[in-house]
């Protein structure tokens, strides 16, 4: 005789097993490691506002042409929401290591995003590799990061080799299209992995392009004084300064240059501190005419209106416009969430596999990128750089000349 209770129990079990994997998932936790205190605190504060803006787009129904905008939550995970857990690395690689381990072992994050300082990203990505958790570098630009044969490392934005290539292509275009020759530069760079990697690339490119490096100044990050270094830069006689510095050092550099009367024809910076609103506010009109490489230009909104809409969302949270760093941080969350949704899973290996298959058209981002596609090393090959210049206190795109919103101003205007 058939046991009805047994049949019912078996049917219930079969139904439970047939439920999709997302049935028990209400939220997906992603760890974020950024500098929330210390010299880089403002970058971390801005990153938090940018990433929470991305959460609004993902978790709410905001259809503005970005991945996961339409509908609320992750559709392939039953509408599960993304939750971000923020950790402060204080610009200290060892603190970053400890925070990464805590996020993985205690918060059980499905992925980690960070970390602005390349020296911290180098350590955090090794922790992620050991635990087999996807790590997405949102805003760390050292080219050595994606050349360590890591399986779990990804980076959405360009690295400093790509950025530096753009700078030297700019010099080439200046000569061919503007009849302005840059034949000497002075390099000024801080002593962590960001500055040293940047200088190595720029030194190499200068040699290949026949440009003399008249000044080559390495300094200790967060130095209390840069008087000696600026005197050396001034003595070099190079018409173009190429600095690689974080915010506090960039501010001190410009102030010291003003005090010592050092004024090159052009300043072409490796972004970082030179792309921050805090930098503009601190140095005032001393920033006028400075050129920086960038992953983002707000005036892209003139051609892509949804950039302005996203900027307004961010501005409500932060009181300021998106910049090179905050735009990259926002996009990193969207890219990671898109991969998790396509994976239809919160398993680490599934997320990693989805990241490898990412293919987002440039016009579905807020960036001037060709696309988002990761190569075998986890580097987005479509992260096309631009150059921006401070004009009337606002960053404007000035290169490539064909897509620029404003003509470049050269030399730096008198002030």
| DSSP track, 290-338 | -EEEES--GGGGGT-HHHHHHHHHHHHHHSS---HHHHHHHHHHHHHHH
pLDDT at 303: 87
Q: Is 173 helix (H, G, I), strand (E, B) or coil?
A: helix
| DSSP track, 194-228 | HHHHHHHHHHHHHHHHT-EEEEEEEE-TT-S--HH
Rg (CA), the chain: 23
**Residue 102: alpha-carbon gap to chain centroid:** 23
Query: pLDDT tens digit string along 353-399?
Result: 999 999 999 999 999 999 999 999 999 999 999 999 999 998 999 99
Structure tokens at 297: 């230009």
Query: pLDDT tens digit string along 97-150?
Result: 999 999 999 999 999 999 999 999 999 999 999 999 999 999 998 999 999 999
Query: pLDDT tens digit string along 179-201?
Result: 999 999 999 999 999 999 999 99
Backbone torsions φ then ψ of 107, nearest 5 degrees? -85, -10
Q: Is 3's pLDDT higher than 60?
A: no
Residue 275 pLDDT grade (very low, low, confident, very high; cuts 50, 70, 90): confident
Query: pLDDT tens digit string along 300-345?
Result: 998 899 999 999 999 999 999 999 999 999 999 999 999 999 999 9
Structural domains in the chain plus CATH codes: 21-158+300-384 (3.40.50.2300), 161-294+387-399 (3.40.50.2300)
Query: pLDDT tens digit string along 157-175?
Result: 999 899 999 999 999 999 9
Query: If 0-12 CB within 10 Å is exposed, 13-18 middle and 19+ buried, where does residue 334 land?
Result: buried
Q: At what angle do helices 41-59 and 324-343 cross, to 10 degrees?
A: 40
Q: Is this model's pTM higher than 0.75 or not?
A: yes
* Percent of the chain residues topping a pLDDT of 90: 87
């Amino acid at each position: 005789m058939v046991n009805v209770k047994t049949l019912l129990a078996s049917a219930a079990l079969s139904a439970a097993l047939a439920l999709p994997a997302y049935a028990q998932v209400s939220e997906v936790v992603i760890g974020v490691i950024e500098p929330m205190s210390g010299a880089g605190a403002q970058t971390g504060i801005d990153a938090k506002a940018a990433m929470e803006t991305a959460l609004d787009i993902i978790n709410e129904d905001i259809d503005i042409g970005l991945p996961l905008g339409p509908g609320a939550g992750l559709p392939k995970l039953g509408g599960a929401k993304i939750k971000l857990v923020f950790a402060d690395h204080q610009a200290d690689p060892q603190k970053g290591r400890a925070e990464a381990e805590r996020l993985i072992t205690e918060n059980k994050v499905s992925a980690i995003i960070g970390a602005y300082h390349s020296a911290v990203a180098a350590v955090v990505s090794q922790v992620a590799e050991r635990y087999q958790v996807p790590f997405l570098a949102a805003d760390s630009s050292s080219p050595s990061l994606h050349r360590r044969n890591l399986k779990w490392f990804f980076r959405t934005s360009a690295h400093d080799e790509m950025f530096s290539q753009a700078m030297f292509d700019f010099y080439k275009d200046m000569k061919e299209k503007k009849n302005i020759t840059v034949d000497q530069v002075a390099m000024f760079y801080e002593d962590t992995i960001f500055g040293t990697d940047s200088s190595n690339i720029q030194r190499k490119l200068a040699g290949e392009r026949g440009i003399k490096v008249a000044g080559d100044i390495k300094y200790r990050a967060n130095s209390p004084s840069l008087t000696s270094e600026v005197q050396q830069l001034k003595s070099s006689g190079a018409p173009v300064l190429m600095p690689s510095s974080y915010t506090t050092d960039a501010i001190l550099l410009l102030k010291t240059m003003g005090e010592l009367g050092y004024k090159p024809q052009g300043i072409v910076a490796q972004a970082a501190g030179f792309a921050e609103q805090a930098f503009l506010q601190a140095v005032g009109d001393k920033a006028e005419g400075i050129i920086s490489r960038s992953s983002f230009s707000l005036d892209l909104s003139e051609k892509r209106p949804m950039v302005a809409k996203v900027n307004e969302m961010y501005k409500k949270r932060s009181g300021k416009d998106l910049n090179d760093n905050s735009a990259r941080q926002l996009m990193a969350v969207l890219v990671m969430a898109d991969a998790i949704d396509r994976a239809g899973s919160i398993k680490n290996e599934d997320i990693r596999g989805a990241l490898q298959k990412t293919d987002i058209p440039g016009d579905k981002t807020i960036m001037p990128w060709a696309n988002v596609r990761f190569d075998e090393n986890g580097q987005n090959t479509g992260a096309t750089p631009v150059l921006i210049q401070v004009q009337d206190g606002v960053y404007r795109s000035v290169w490539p000349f064909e897509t620029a919103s404003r003509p470049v101003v050269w030399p730096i205007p008198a002030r």
